[in-house]
Amino acid sequence: MEEGAVGTDEEGAGRLLIIGLTGPELDPEAEALLHHVDPLGVVLFRRNIQSVGQLKDLTRRLAEFRPDMLIAIDHEGGRVHRMPPDFTHFPPSLVMARNGDPGLMREVAHAHAAELRDAGFNLTFSPVLDVHTNPANPIIGDRAFGTTPEEVVHNALPYMQGLAEGGILACGKHFPGHGDTSVDSHLELPVLPAATHPLERLRTLELRPFARAIAQGVPMIMTAHVICDALDPKAPATLSRRVIEDLLRTELGYDGYVVSDDLEMKAIVDHYSVGRAAVMSIVAGCDGCLVCATPSRIYEAHEALTNALESGEITIASAANAARRREKLLAKSRRLARIPITAGAIGAAAHTALSSRLRGEAVVA
């Protein structure tokens, strides 16, 4: 097949997936999974990371599997920190943002990018662009960069810029907004009623950081497993063409890469099979989907996507658009890879001092 062509074979299906692995090594089962699915990328979690040396060996082997492999992690600071103790552990985004200094957010992103690059990553699923408007929100909270759209824009966009300058792809999340939910989508499906979240409110509050990030060129956006009644009362945003194609693509004009949140979260699997959800997400306008934990579900998603490509449920036009955006994302990744890696970045003294400063701790010279 010619480079850039869109096929209906297993390679085409695999490139619609970013998957998780079960352990810290590429054992025979993990290698078989990678060879069968041939995913666009792999996302790592705490279960995959034991030490800096082991992590670097794992990311090196993943990069050897395919040179353009996306190697991703959720790396935010605060409670979303998967790394061993050697890495600098920054405070939560909301704590860092209290300084009101966008330059510091950019500096933090530089530090994050340097340490991630040193460890072999090229993509982080950050920044969070949700607006923290609900103090009882069990999943976003201090992961947000502010309690108003203006604060999120003021702090998250410089952070996003710093990631790019440090050579790491950014991903804004969770579209169209997870900041005012009262339940955790890892555990159940949140619903935002139209009475409290009409379209006018969504446009002026939840959507504003995403619109600004789009204007700044965010390369990837992750969807939320949230039902917004004002947009689509029947399907979560991840699976809704009204949300992805009509709102994000057409109204907000986003032509970058859209990835689903993990399809194994209970907000999805309590209502859909992973295979069905994978197909629905691509039909809705996503370019790829995350299946992060269970090999059998990864195989299921791969088979369902293969069948949907062959049957035409995922149309030639949809597959072609996904392939075009995927190549644009990979081209940006290749450009960022030219930025030199900083040896010894992990746990650097300057990063530790910056983290202490942001926590309000005294820094010993």
pLDDT tens figures, 306-335: 999 999 999 999 999 999 999 999 999 999
Q: Which amino acid makes up residue 313?
A: E
71 lies in some domain: yes
Domain extent for 272: 18-351
CB atoms within 10 A of CB 62: 21
What does the pLDDT read at residue 184? 83
What does the pLDDT read at residue 187? 87
Residue 6 pLDDT greater than 80, yes or no:
no
What does the pLDDT read at residue 99? 84
358 lies in some domain: no
Confidence of residue 183 (pLDDT cuts 50, 70, 90): confident
What does the pLDDT read at residue 182? 82
Give the model confidence (pLDDT) of 64-94 as tens digits.
999 999 999 999 999 999 999 999 999 999 9
Number of structural domains, the chain?
A: 1
Confidence of residue 196 (pLDDT cuts 50, 70, 90): very high
What does the pLDDT read at residue 313? 98
Query: CA–CA distance from 157 to each of 218, 282, 298 (Å)?
Result: 9, 27, 33
Confidence of residue 360 (pLDDT cuts 50, 70, 90): confident
Mean pLDDT of all residues in 167-192 = 93
Predicted structure pTM score: 0.95
10-24, 124-138, 149-163, range with the lowest pLDDT: 10-24
Tokens standing for residue 251: 């109204």
Give the model confidence (pLDDT) of 225-249 as tens digits.
999 999 999 999 999 999 999 999 9
Which residues belong to the active site? 186, 261
95 lies in some domain: yes
What is the CATH classification number for the domain harbouring 119? 3.20.20.300
Question: Alpha-carbon distance 10 to 301, whole Å?
Answer: 11
58 lies in some domain: yes
Positive or negative: CA dihedral 131, 135, 139, 142: positive
CB atoms within 10 A of CB 339: 15
